Amino acid sequence: MDPSLPNYEPRVIEQFAEKLYRKASAFVMGSVVIGAALGAAFGSVPLTSLGDAWPVPSMFGFITLLIGGIFGAAIGYVIGDTRSFGYRLQAQSALCQLQLERNTAVLARAVTAARSAPATPKAPPAEQTPPVQQAQPAPPPPAPPVQPPAPQQQQQPEQPQQPPTGPPVSPPVSAARVA
């Protein structure tokens, strides 16, 4: 191992995953707050001098401010939740790699211990006793006689079907199957 490389510390990966989880939860809240503020800012336009150009009267300005804030918060939540999922997924990937390393280390120690263990000689096989014979089961009863099939009536030879002259048509759809 190269002495210039830092030592492996799994606690660093765990701290990284914890930071990602905190960042994910903070990102959702931050996105909701920013979305609500931007939505409220757009909703408050009828209360400003710019509202004269809008078809919304200024007496509805507070309602548009509230509606803008609510819509902005909802959009912020959707964006924040999507981004926070990415952070949580990244944290889970780091923790999965850490667990994989731990499982591999345990397996490597077990293989090393199995290789270094002295080989134990196998004991000579014990005397085998002859197998005990069991009574033979009785033969099955004879099968009942098979009767010949009943004679069939002669059928007239079928007329060869002519192919349809038009395009294929799908069967009608009943009202019960549509629902």
Band the pLDDT of 114: cuts 50, 70, 90: confident
State the average pLDDT for the chain: 79
Summarised one tens digit per residue, pLDDT across range 67-89 is 999 999 999 999 999 999 999 99
- For the question of whether the overall pTM of this predicted structure is more than 0.85, the answer is no
pLDDT at residue 179 greater than cutoff 50: no
Band the pLDDT of 59: cuts 50, 70, 90: confident
CA-to-CA distance for 86 and 104, rounded, in angstroms?
27
- Residue-level pLDDT at 47: 74
Summarised one tens digit per residue, pLDDT across range 119-151 is 665 666 666 666 666 667 777 777 677 676 666
Q: Which residues contact 45 (CB under 8 A, 6 or more apart)?
A: 51, 54, 64
Percent of the chain with pLDDT over 90: 39
Residue with tokens 């780091």: 94
CA-to-CA distance for 112 and 72, rounded, in angstroms?
60
CA-to-CA distance for 141 and 148, rounded, in angstroms?
21
pLDDT at residue 177 greater than cutoff 60: no
CB atoms within 10 A of CB 64: 22
